[in-house]
Each structure stands twice: as C-alpha cells, then as structure tokens.
Amino acid sequence: MTSKERFDLTVNHRQPEKVVVDFGSTAVTGVHVLSVENLRKYYGLENHPVRVIEPYQMLGLVEPDLQEAMGIDVVGAWGKNNMFGIYNHEPLKEMKTFWGQTVLVPEGFETTNAENGDLLIHPEGDTSVSASARMPKASYFFDAIVRQELLDEETLDVRDNLEEFGLITESELNFWKEATRNARDTGKAVIAGLGGTALGDIALVPGIQMKHPKGIRDIAEWYMSTVMRPEYVKAIFDKQSEIALENFRRLHEVIGNNLDAVFICGTDFGTQDSTFCAPEQFDDLWLPYYRRINDWVHSNTSWKTFKHSCGAVETFMSRFIDAGFDIINPVQVSAIGMNPAHLKNTYGKYLVFWGGGIDTQKTLPYSTPEKVREEVLRLCDIFAKDGGFVFNTVHNIQANVPVKNIVAMVDAIREFNGEN
C-alpha cells in the first residue's frame, strides 16, 4: 500500500495496514532546524546545512532522505512567500544562528540587530522599514513585534484589517500549480495552506509580512475586540471568507486532485485548562464562516479540511464537527479534558486526529526513551483503531529535544506498525 492509499483510508475512517506518519508537512506539524540537523546526523545522511522552510518558528525542511528514515507519508506544498512576505525559495544563502548552527535561508532574508544584540527581521526583507519580529539571543525562533498604530474608535475601518487579503495573482496560481504537482509526484499524501482562511489566527493578526499594517494588530486588542467589537470582527470574517472562496475556486482549477488536505485555520481556542471563549461565542463569531468555507470545499473538491487548535478544546469538538472540519490538530492530550480514549470514542467517527501521538511539553523533551516508547504505543493503540489518525507530535518538535527521544518515538511507531 502506498502512502497516498494509506492516507486515503485513514481520512475516510477506514483501517490502513499501518499508521500514517507526518513530520514536517505544515507549520504546526514541523521540526525545528536544530532537531532536523541532529536527526540527519543520527541517521548518517548527507551533511549539509538545513534549509529553513518556515522562519517564524525556524522549522527545517525534512528532505526525502530523512522522510524515508522516519517513515513519513505526508508532504507539504509550500507557498511562494514565507510569513514575513519574503520569497521562500531558491536562491538560498547561509545564515549562522545564535545557537551556532549554519542554516539556509532565502536570498531576500535580510536581518538587522537590535541594540541588545537580538536578531530583527523586516517585512519583505526591507530593512528600511520597522522590524516585524524579533529573535532574542537566548531564543530559537522569532516573536512578533506589535506595530499597531494609535486606534481611533471613530475612524476604525474594516478595510484596514483586510489589507493582506486579496485575489490571487496569475503568478501565484502558476506557483501553486507547480508546487502541488511536484508534491504529488512524491507518491505521498499532500497538504497545503493556501492562505486567506485563517480567521483571527493570532500568529497572523500582527501582519508581520506587511510594511505598514493598519487596523487592529495588537494581540491583546484583537482578543478584546472579539468581545467589544464583534460586528467589526464579523465584517472582517465575512469579506475575508468571500475573497478566500473565490481564490479557492481559481486554485482548484489549477490544483485539482493534486491536494489531499487543505490547512484552513490555525486560530487557537484553548489554553492549558480552559477555552478562550464560550461555546456560544464560537457559534456566533466563527461557526458561520467556517461552515461557509468547509461547505464550499466539500461541495467542489475532494480535499479534506484541517483545523488547528491547541489546548483544552474538548467542549468545542462537536462544534468543529458542526462547522464541517474533517481534521483536528494537534490533539493536546496533556490539556484538561483531552482524554485520548474519550476523544476517540466520542468524536473518532467524525474527526481525524492529526497529532496527539506524544506530549511535546514534558514526555518528548524531558523523559527517557523507554517512557517515550510507552507513551507512543499507548496513544497509537487508542487513536489508530478504525483509522482516523495521522501520527504527529502535539505541535512542532522543538530545538534541543534529545535526538535519542525523537528516534525512540520513530522506532515506537515502527514497532506499532509491525515493522521492527
């Protein structure tokens, strides 16, 4: 059975002969560049600088040789520009990180240093404008810099928060056509974030790709606006989803079935022990627009829709189903109420759990290889029954995770799949 065949069974809640595996296909199922380098060394693969595929979180490209070593079934088709609005493909150049690793970044990836030595990145690589993100010297990834202008309630304009959403260009269509075709040629399942459908994703609200973002761009202000200015937020979501669906229509004409799943939205609704909003607020503010998007995808394409939300979102699972999502990620099993057996038994007929294979806050970085093995086997045993499970960690694999633990995880998946 091919990776694609295995994936098709899985997302249609049928039992494949092996658990489907993903490491590196999206910005929320990825591997930090340092861990990618450590894995390449461990498996004896060609020694060369790791390419940064997603610079905001400093995620590394998992190349075909490492995909083979880790038993990966899913690949990502990546867009033309990265989160900073910089062309994200060749030509590439080397960059030395604070932690001493040499990595590959796009030629347009221009940085400066703050007075305290922190690394600053600028939108579109234009160092003549204010930096949009900062990497502290002791950090391994970037943090957004809030550049919100002074808000005037009387002149607040919805169009300012729609500036980054526009109709897709011919150049972008051609790029996606080639990117998805190349991904399909790997023989693996393909996922992509086509853009424009991230309704209030807090990583995108500050507009780090924009030189002069207007509107509500402060993270705290945005969260308050969902309560204080719900009509303003609804107006954004309404127009944003309208534009997105026209773009999806155009994209589907050139992509067709070269895509198996589409990353719709990364808006988080959960904390470690609760939710960001009441279920009723979700129904009012997000549900109609999610349903609009998912209904179009299901009526016009063969794609499955992927929703990311960290945290304690058990109380929202039925609403994710009602909204039409096929897939939920990362399945944070360590959060309050996120009992794996309960999730599988209650929602497993309707939702594909993409993630939840091992806790990345405690077990993977801080436990022993044997404890890693035990947790992977236990969670696979729960989630993999009757399909509907793509193995991934609970969010990205971070820097400095012991490589022996990552390998123990991979070996445990193989053991579960009967490959050892």
In tens, the pLDDT along 118-138 reads 999 999 999 999 999 999 999
Residues 6+ positions from 297 with CB-CB distance below 8 Å: 248, 262, 264, 303, 305
Q: For the beta carbon of residue 271, count every other beta carbon within 10 angstroms.
A: 14
Q: Hey, what are 407's tokens?
A: 């390998």
CB neighbourhood size of 383 (10 A): 27
| Torsion angle of the four alpha carbons 167, 169, 175, 180, in this order, in degrees rounded to the nearest 10 | 30
Paired residues of 144 in beta bridges? 133
Give the residues across from 353 on adjacent strands. 328, 389
Residue 128, pLDDT score: 97
- CATH architecture, domain defined by 3-91+147-416: Alpha-Beta Barrel (3.20)
Q: What is the pLDDT of residue 419?
A: 94
DSSP character string of 338-380: --HHHHHHHHTTT-EEE--SS-TTTHHHHS-HHHHHHHHHHHH
pLDDT digits (tens, 9 = 90+) for 139-196: 999 999 999 989 999 999 999 999 999 999 999 999 999 999 999 999 999 999 999 9
Domain ranges of the chain: 3-91+147-416
**Rounded mean pLDDT, 372-398:** 98
Its pTM stands at: 0.97
The DSSP call for residue 394 is: S
For residue 391, what pLDDT is reported? 98
Average pLDDT, the chain: 97
Q: What is the C-alpha to C-alpha distance for residues 331 and 419, in angstroms, rounded to an integer?
A: 25
**Amino acid 144: pLDDT:** 98
DSSP state of 275: B
Q: Residues near 94 by Cβ (< 8 Å), separated by ≥ 6?
A: 49, 102, 103, 104, 105
Strands 59-60 and 304-308: unpaired
pLDDT at 322: 98
pLDDT, one tens digit per residue, over 276-312 is 999 999 999 999 999 999 999 999 999 999 999 999 9
Cα first-last separation, the chain: 18
Q: pLDDT class for 377, splitting at 50, 70, 90? A: very high
- Categorize the per-residue pLDDT at 420 as very low, low, confident or very high, splitting at 50, 70 and 90: confident
pLDDT score recorded for residue 326 = 98
pLDDT over 90, % of the chain: 99
* pLDDT for res 345: 98
The predicted pLDDT at position 231 comes to 97
Residue 147, SS3 per DSSP: coil
CA distance 50 to 105: 9
CB 352 within 8 A of CB 326: yes
Cβ-contact 133, 84 below 8 angstroms = yes
CB-based burial, 308-340: b 16+ in 10 Å, e otherwise: bbbbbbbebbebbebbbbbbbbbbbbbbebbeb
Q: Where are the beta strands (DSSP E) in 147-280?
A: 189-192, 261-265
pLDDT at 233 over 80: yes
d(CA 263, CA 272): 23
Q: Given this model, what pLDDT does residue 256 score?
A: 97
In 3-state terms the chain splits into helix, strand, coil percentages (rounded to 5) of 40, 15, 45
Q: What is the pLDDT of residues 81-105, one digit of tens each?
A: 999 999 999 999 999 999 999 999 9
